[in-house]
């Protein structure tokens, strides 16, 4: 344990490191960031996120911010959202974007992959019914596309419909005329993205950091 | 209670007799015991001696200050005391840094310097990255050039900006790479060796017990002299000598204030110093910037009229030479502000105006958006870059965290204030260039000279929110990619 240096709440850092898999340095950095964002308070609220200018430019900012307060992502039971999160929950959400460490069994890699996929799935599935319905898909497309100028609402809608149709045909094969496609379930989502190397594409890499974790 | 220490034998005898310990009745003593007379009068004499001694010490202290600091400040030469202090300080800090580095290299701990950034970002543009993402999952449905993988890109960018963004970090103090023996900068540094801790302890004693009272005295003297001196000069009629005297009084007071902060200022390129009829423009880190700049020349200030002590100072200053003070209501009227500034600038006898176009204090690692108001006036702009050396004391005023008074006290208990000032060559608005472009050009020049990051963001974001238009821009960009310029529907 010689590498541990003066982390405030030394014992808490060990717990957090075990829980989330970040290294001590990374936890320290994120803790500083947390304090900066929350203006040195104990908890973060939505308005703190809205103060970040870079984030304000992002078209799906609202979904990203909601993801931090979503009970499913912070590993609490039940659905719905919370109003404020502490540093531990912040870290748990961030851990979805942790790069996989080099020594990982296939099973661990698979777990990491499913976690990341789950996070992205939850972002779209806002009513927590386990499927991304047409409505929810449409909502995402509308958020991404501009509402003014070249695009009208109808266009966004039709794009979403077309996409959904294709998904349905891929997942369900041939559908009867009066069969109703409920929506993309998590299994479908997983299958669709089977070739997508999400564990290498969806992560945040820290610079100059000692990335050794406890489980080496 | 110290009196009892000075007391003589007679009191002790009395005490043992009455058995009262330290408590005794003065009047009873006076009447009953002859020795008490001696004691009481002896008591008084001791007290007077004490006060006389204290007064005498105070006098010596003041003479020392006047002789060693004020007189050199008045006439602009230096006795070399602060230079020796600075050399000792620099050597001590280097020694401390070496010790800390030696200790930490044993454990292979590297502290990432703030300028390198926390996370590694992709350098590609939006188009390139979306293409990459799409290619890696060809199975995803493509409806009108939109795929689900597109939102992954935005999600990742969003998380990246939550971890680190260019703007919010500018509103808190810069982080030191290595500890400079001040408690306030002790974030992660911990016990290294006994000697270091002793030096640190000595540093505290020196800073709080010797330097701070000295600096506070100087600041008070400087400020009161400013008020008195400028009022006195203001009583003179408008002869040539009045301008000369007024400049002299101003510079002298700012020099005293600078000594009051142990400021070491290095001016570069003094041939580019701002001249009358121009506007001097600089990056803003703290209110002390004014003291720094005015040490080397006289400027006309622009600002809001305040009440209280600041108001007194403002009114006194305006008596000796014209500054531009606005009422709060007047500041809202942009035409009025522009007109007054224009009038001041066009009068060639008046001093150059000093303006900080960022509008707020930023932490000296970057330069934020310059407000275009001062660049619309059409006068010659003299840019000035100010860069503080963080090792000796952090000059950034975090106005949401510290009030002005606590900020000044912090300044006075730092080691010193070291900064570099670069005067840049004058700039004019060019043909076909509007005020915003001109402002950006000046900003880049200042950022480049001072080694600061040039940001497009508005310093007002410290308190205000980002406008929705920025989000619109990103959305538009993406829509153009997905749907194309013509808004034809793609489904069938």
pLDDT in tens, B245-268: 888 888 888 888 887 788 888 898
Query: Mean pLDDT of all residues in chain A?
Result: 73
Distance linking the first and last C-alpha atoms of chain A: 13
Q: Determine, for residues A29 and B118 on separate chains, whether the beta-carbon distance falls below 8 Å.
A: yes
Return the percentage of chain B with pLDDT > 70, whole number.
74
pLDDT of res. A178: 55
In contact, B407 and B397? CB cutoff 8 Å: yes
Helix (H/G/I), strand (E/B), else coil: A52: coil
Q: Determine, for residues A141 and B146 on separate chains, whether the beta-carbon distance falls below 8 Å.
A: yes
pLDDT of res. B106: 55
Q: Is residue A111 over pLDDT 60?
A: yes
Characterize the bridge pairing of strands B353-355 and B300-304.
Answer: parallel
pLDDT in tens, A168-211: 776 666 655 555 667 777 787 777 777 677 767 777 777 654 44
Q: Provide, as residue numbers in chain A, all residues whose Cβ is less than 8 Å from the Cβ of B483.
A: 145, 150-151, 155, 159
Sign of the CA dihedral with B177 first, then B178, B183, and B188 last? positive
pLDDT of res. B27: 45
pLDDT of res. B481: 66
Q: Is residue B36 over pLDDT 80?
A: no
Q: Which of B117, B154, B160 sits opposite A207 (nearest CB)?
A: B117
Q: Which of B107, B112, B143 sits opposite A209 (nearest CB)?
A: B112
pLDDT in tens, A116-131: 888 888 888 777 777 7
* Higher-confidence position of B106 and B448: B448
Partnered with residue B427 across adjacent β-strands are B381
Q: Provide, as residue numbers in chain A, all residues whose Cβ is less than 8 Å from the Cβ of B168.
A: 36-37, 51-53
Q: What string of DSSP letters covers B66-132? A: IIIIIHHHHHT---SHHHHHHHHHHHHHHHHHHHHHHHHHHTT--PPPGGG-SEE---S-HHHHHHH
Partnered with residue B353 across adjacent β-strands are B279, B300
pLDDT of res. B314: 82
User: Which residue from B minimizes the CA distance to A29?
Assistant: B118
pLDDT in tens, B274-311: 888 889 999 998 888 888 898 888 888 887 787 777 78
Q: Is residue A63 over pLDDT 70?
A: yes
User: Which residue from B minimizes the CA distance to A96?
Assistant: B159
pLDDT band at A135 (very low <50, low <70, confident <90, very high): confident
Residue of A22, A38, A58 to mutate, interface with B, max B Cβ within 10 Å: A58
Sign of the CA dihedral with B412 first, then B413, B416, and B417 last? negative
Q: Is residue B346 over pLDDT 60?
A: yes
Q: Is residue B448 over pLDDT 60?
A: yes
* Average confidence (pLDDT) over B153-175: 78
In contact, B231 and B312? CB cutoff 8 Å: no
CA A72 to CA A79: how far, in whole Å? 7
CA B229 to CA B232: how far, in whole Å? 5
Residue B309 C-beta-side C-alpha neighbours within 13 Å: 6
CA A56 to CA A51: how far, in whole Å? 8
pLDDT band at B150 (very low <50, low <70, confident <90, very high): confident
Query: Mean pLDDT of all residues in chain B?
Result: 75
User: Which residue from A minimizes the CA distance to B470?
Assistant: A57
* Higher-confidence position of A81 and B485: A81
Greatest CA separation found in chain B?
121
Helix (H/G/I), strand (E/B), else coil: A202: coil
In contact, A100 and A27? CB cutoff 8 Å: no
Q: Determine, for residues B485 and A150 on separate chains, whether the beta-carbon distance falls below 8 Å.
A: yes
pLDDT band at B394 (very low <50, low <70, confident <90, very high): confident
Q: Which of B136, B470, B489 sits opposite A56 (nearest CB)?
A: B470
Q: Determine, for residues A163 and B473 on separate chains, whether the beta-carbon distance falls below 8 Å.
A: no
Return the percentage of chain A with pLDDT > 70, whole number.
77
Partnered with residue B386 across adjacent β-strands are B421
* Higher-confidence position of A164 and B283: B283
Residue of A204, A210, A211 to mutate, interface with B, max B Cβ within 10 Å: A204
List the single range of A167-181, B231-245, B418-432 with lowest mean pLDDT.
A167-181
Phi and psi for B455 in degrees, rounded to 5?
-110, 150
CA B374 to CA B355: how far, in whole Å? 8
**ipTM (interface pTM):** 0.79
Residue of B124, B128, B159, B462 to mutate, interface with A, max A Cβ within 10 Å: B159
User: Which residue from A minimizes the CA distance to B112?
Assistant: A208
Sign of the CA dihedral with B136 first, then B139, B142, and B147 last? negative
Q: Is residue A147 over pLDDT 70?
A: no
CA distance B25 to chain A (A): 56
What is the reported pTM?
0.69
Find tokens 């078209």 and name the residue.
A59
Helix (H/G/I), strand (E/B), else coil: B280: strand
Q: Is residue B231 over pLDDT 80?
A: yes
CA distance A140 to chain B (A): 8
User: Which residue from B minimizes the CA distance to A34?
Assistant: B163
User: Which residue from A minimizes the CA distance to B466?
Assistant: A53
CA A30 to CA A44: how far, in whole Å? 13
For chain A, what's the residue count? Answer: 216
pLDDT of res. B281: 92
In contact, A3 and B107? CB cutoff 8 Å: yes
* Higher-confidence position of A164 and B105: A164
For chain B, what's the residue count? Answer: 492
pLDDT of res. A212: 38
pLDDT of res. B423: 93
- Identify the burial level of B313 via C-beta atoms within 10 angstroms of its C-beta, where 0-12 means exposed, 13-18 middle and 19 or more buried: middle
In contact, B362 and B170? CB cutoff 8 Å: yes
* Whole-number Cα distances in Å, A213 to A15, B118, B303, B467: 12, 18, 54, 41
Residue of B105, B122, B148 to mutate, interface with A, max A Cβ within 10 Å: B148
pLDDT band at A85 (very low <50, low <70, confident <90, very high): confident
Q: Provide, as residue numbers in chain A, all residues whose Cβ is less than 8 Å from the Cβ of B473.
A: 57
CA A144 to CA B476: how far, in whole Å? 9
Q: Determine, for residues A197 and B473 on separate chains, whether the beta-carbon distance falls below 8 Å.
A: no
Token pair of B22 as six digits: 């330290």
Q: Determine, for residues B143 and A163 on separate chains, whether the beta-carbon distance falls below 8 Å.
A: yes
Token pair of A196 as six digits: 């997508």
pLDDT of res. B385: 93
pLDDT of res. A138: 77
CA B436 to CA B372: how far, in whole Å? 6
User: Which residue from B minimizes the CA distance to A196?
Assistant: B137
* Higher-confidence position of B352 and B192: B352
pLDDT band at B121 (very low <50, low <70, confident <90, very high): low
CA distance B233 to chain A (A): 47
Residue partners of B483: CB distance under 8 A and separation at least 6: A145, A150, A151, A155, A159, B144, B145, B490
CA B423 to CA B274: how far, in whole Å? 8
Query: What is chain A's alpha carbon radius of gyration, rounded to the nearest angstrom?
Result: 20
3-state secondary structure B352-413: CEEECCCCCCCCCCEECCCCHHHHCCCCEEEEEEEEECCCCCCCCCCCCCCCHHHHHHHHHC
pLDDT of res. B422: 93
Identify the DSSP state of B8.
Answer: -
Closest to B181 measured CA to CA, from B305, B277, B83, B97: B97
pLDDT band at B386 (very low <50, low <70, confident <90, very high): very high
Token pair of B285 as six digits: 């880190």
């Amino acid at each position: 344990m010689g590498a541990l240096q003066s982390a405030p709440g030394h014992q808490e850092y060990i717990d957090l490191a075990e829980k989330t898999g970040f290294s001590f340095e990374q936890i320290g950095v994120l803790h500083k960031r947390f304090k900066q964002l929350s203006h040195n308070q104990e908890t973060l609220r939505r308005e703190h996120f809205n103060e970040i200018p870079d984030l304000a430019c992002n078209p799906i900012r609202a979904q990203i911010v909601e993801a931090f307060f979503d009970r499913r992502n912070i590993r609490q039971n039940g659905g719905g959202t919370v109003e404020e999160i502490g540093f531990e929950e912040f870290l748990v959400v961030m851990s979805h974007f942790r790069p996989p460490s080099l020594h990982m069994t296939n099973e661990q890699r698979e777990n990491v992959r499913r976690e990341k996929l789950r996070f992205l799935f939850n972002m779209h599935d806002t009513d927590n019914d386990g499927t991304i319905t047409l409505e929810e898909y449409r909502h995402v497309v509308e958020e991404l596309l501009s509402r003014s100028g070249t695009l009208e609402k109808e266009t966004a809608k039709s794009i979403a419909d077309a996409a959904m149709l294709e998904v349905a045909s891929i997942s369900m094969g041939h559908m009867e005329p009066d069969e109703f496609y409920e929506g993309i379930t998590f299994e479908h989502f997983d299958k669709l993205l089977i070739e997508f190397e999400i564990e290498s594409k969806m992560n945040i890499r820290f610079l100059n950091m000692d990335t050794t974790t406890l489980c080496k | 209670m110290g009196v009892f220490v000075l007391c003589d034998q007679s009191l002790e005898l009395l005490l043992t007799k009455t058995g009262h310990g330290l408590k005794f009745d003065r009047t009873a003593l006076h009447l009953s015991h002859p020795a008490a007379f001696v004691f009481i009068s002896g008591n008084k004499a001791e007290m007077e001696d004490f006060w006389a001694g204290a007064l005498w010490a105070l006098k010596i202290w003041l003479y020392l200050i006047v002789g060693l600091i004020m007189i050199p400040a008045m006439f602009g030469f230096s006795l070399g005391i602060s230079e020796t202090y600075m050399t000792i300080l620099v050597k001590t800090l280097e020694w401390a840094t070496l010790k800390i580095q030696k200790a930490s290299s044993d454990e292979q701990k590297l502290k990432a310097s703030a300028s390198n950034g926390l996370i590694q970002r992709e350098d590609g543009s939006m188009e390139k990255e979306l293409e990459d993402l799409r290619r890696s999952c060809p199975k995803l449905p493509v409806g009108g050039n939109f795929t689900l993988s597109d939102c992954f890109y935005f999600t990742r960018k969003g998380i990246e900006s939550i971890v680190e963004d260019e703007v919010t970090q500018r509103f808190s103090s810069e982080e030191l790479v290595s500890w400079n023996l001040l408690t306030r900068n002790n974030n992660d540094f911990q016990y290294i060796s006994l000697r270091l801790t002793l030096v640190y302890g000595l540093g505290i004693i020196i800073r709080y017990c010797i330097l701070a009272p000295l600096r506070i005295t100087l600041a008070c003297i400087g400020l009161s002299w400013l008020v008195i001196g400028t009022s006195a000069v203001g009583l003179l009629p408008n002869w040539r000598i009045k301008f000369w005297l007024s400049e002299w009084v101003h510079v002298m007071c700012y020099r005293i204030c600078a000594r009051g902060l142990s400021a070491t200022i290095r001016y570069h390129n003094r041939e580019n110093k701002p001249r009358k009829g121009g506007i001097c423009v600089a990056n803003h880190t703290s209110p002390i910037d004014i003291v720094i700049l005015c040490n080397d020349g006289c400027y006309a200030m622009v600002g809001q009229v305040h009440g209280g002590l600041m108001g007194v100072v403002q009114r006194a200053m305006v008596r000796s030479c014209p500054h531009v003070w606005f009422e709060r209501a007047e500041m809202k009227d942009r035409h009025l502000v522009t007109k007054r500034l224009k009038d001041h600038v066009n009068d060639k006898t008046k001093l150059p105006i000093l303006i900080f176009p960022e509008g707020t204090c930023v932490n000296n690692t970057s330069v934020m958006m310059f407000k275009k108001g001062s660049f619309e006036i059409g006068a010659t702009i003299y840019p000035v870059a100010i860069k503080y050396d963080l090792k000796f004391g952090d000059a950034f005023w975090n106005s949401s965290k510290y009030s002005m008074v606590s900020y000044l006290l912090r300044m006075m208990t730092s080691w010193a204030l070291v900064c570099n000032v670069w005067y840049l060559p004058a700039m004019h608005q060019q043909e076909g260039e509007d005020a915003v472009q001109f402002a950006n050009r000046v900003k880049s020049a200042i950022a480049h000279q001072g080694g600061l990051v040039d940001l497009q963001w508005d310093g007002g974001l410290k308190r205000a929110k980002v406008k929705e238009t920025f989000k619109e821009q990103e959305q538009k960009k993406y829509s153009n990619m997905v749907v194309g310029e013509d808004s034809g529907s793609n489904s069938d």
